[in-house]
Amino acid sequence: MPGRELAPCAARPERSRGRRRREAPPRGRSEYQRDRDRIIHSTAFRRLEYKTQVFVNHEGDLFRTRLTHSLEVAQIARSVARSLRLDEDLTEAVALAHDLGHTPFGHTGQDSLNACMRPYGGFEHNLQSLRVVDLLEQRYAAFDGLNLTFESREGVLKHCSLKNARTLGDVGERFVKKQRPSLEAQVANLADEIAYNNHDVDDGVRSGLLDMAQLAEVAIFARHMKAVLRQFPRLAARRLRHETVRRMIDTLVSDLIRTSADNIRRHAPASIEEVRLAPPLIAFSARIREESDELKRFLRENLYRHYRVVRMSGKARRIVADLFAALLTDNRLLPPEFQERAGEDAPRAIADYIAGMTDRYAILEHRRLFAIEET
């Protein structure tokens, strides 16, 4: 295909800042392809299938899980990266790995584990994603973790407190110096926002927690729904929802590509090093930024705080808190590989163990530790 050359501001696998442990270069694939492949083969990646996005995994078979969410993020991110002539493989690697550190039960699980860990250094899910790829995966003979390239690790660490950033060496530096990550990482970050806003609308309506009349008060949804109805006045409700969501994604992606291409043209960074010093270049236009924020606010108020979601969240919070307390009181309840690490830092080993659990594993482990009857 003509014009498929990478843009000057793209990350280049042959100029990567490298891996923490030196390895022979891959054959027949690039360094970033190797990162992507390692992520897909990891245990943490497979566990995403049974981790909650908004709905608890057993609530229905059709809702998004962290796995399908991550695949949708990767798909959107790759389209954008390709249009901007960025490295698709790095974008995909970051997108697929971005939620690897998520606890069971979505944000509730994460808030709850953070509360448990407050006296022991706290818990941040982005930092946990980095711990997964740097340390917790045990698949390779020569090293712990996946030994990813600097650029993939930097992308995975989307946010980080300054306190923690200072302890992370090279990959934490940008938070201290207020610099940007690669454009590939910036793309994955906004693809995440496009994916969850849209699939949460879809799942929200499918579950009956949201209805189309409510959504008609959100500008971006209303505008696209009206356009669909003008063209197809008698469309069945389900198709109307899908078609509206489809068009919203298209608008968001097109706007992101257009605005970012303009920004890149204007700043013309000649290398990834100049990208790090520039303002964020991957961005929505002001109007779409506003509309996306409005949709986000709507979802927060009407879906994430819906009483049925909140009720499930209460249960999830208790499960995480109970597990943490029980395991901290008696480290011998931990599986052997975590017991070993508990010798150095018991609360951190327990947090790693709990964060790695799927929703149903956490429920089962809670039953095993707390139920009186045999399970």
363 phi and psi angles, rounded to 5 deg:
-65, -45
Residue 216 and residue 222 in contact, taking contact as beta carbons nearer than 8 Å: yes
CB of 362 to Mg ion, least distance (A): 19
Q: How many residues bind Mg ion (CB under 5 A)?
A: 2
Q: Of 92, 192, 202, 203, which lies in the binding site for Mg ion, with binding defined by CB under 5 A?
A: 192
Closer by beta carbon to Mg ion, 191 or else 342: 191
Residue 123 and residue 114 in contact, taking contact as beta carbons nearer than 8 Å: yes
144, two tokens: 């712990």
CB of 98 to Mg ion, least distance (A): 5
CB of 281 to Mg ion, least distance (A): 21
Residues 77-106 that bind Mg ion (CB under 5 A): 99
The amino acid occupying position 312 is: M
CB of 282 to Mg ion, least distance (A): 16
d(CA 70, CA 371): 34
- The H-or-E segment that residue 79 falls in is helix 66-83
Closer by beta carbon to Mg ion, 100 or else 210: 100
Closer by beta carbon to Mg ion, 31 or else 192: 192
CB of 195 to Mg ion, least distance (A): 7
Closer by beta carbon to Mg ion, 87 or else 99: 99
The closest residue (CB) to Mg ion is 192
CB of 1 to Mg ion, least distance (A): 30
Candidate segments 31-39, 135-143, 184-192, 211-219, binder of Mg ion by CB under 5 A: 184-192
Q: Quick one: which of 160, 95, 101 has its CA closest to 128? A: 101
Closer by beta carbon to Mg ion, 31 or else 99: 99
- The interface mask with Mg ion, positions 136-175, x = CB under 5 A, is ----------------------------------------
d(CA 17, CA 277): 17
Signed CA dihedral, 233, 234, 240, 246: sign only: negative
Closer by beta carbon to Mg ion, 107 or else 348: 107
H helices within the chain, ranges in order? 31-40, 43-47, 66-83, 88-97, 106-117, 125-131, 150-156, 162-165, 173-177, 183-206, 212-215, 219-231, 237-267, 272-277, 286-299, 307-329, 336-356, 359-370
Residue numbers at the binding site for Mg ion (CB under 5 A): 99, 192
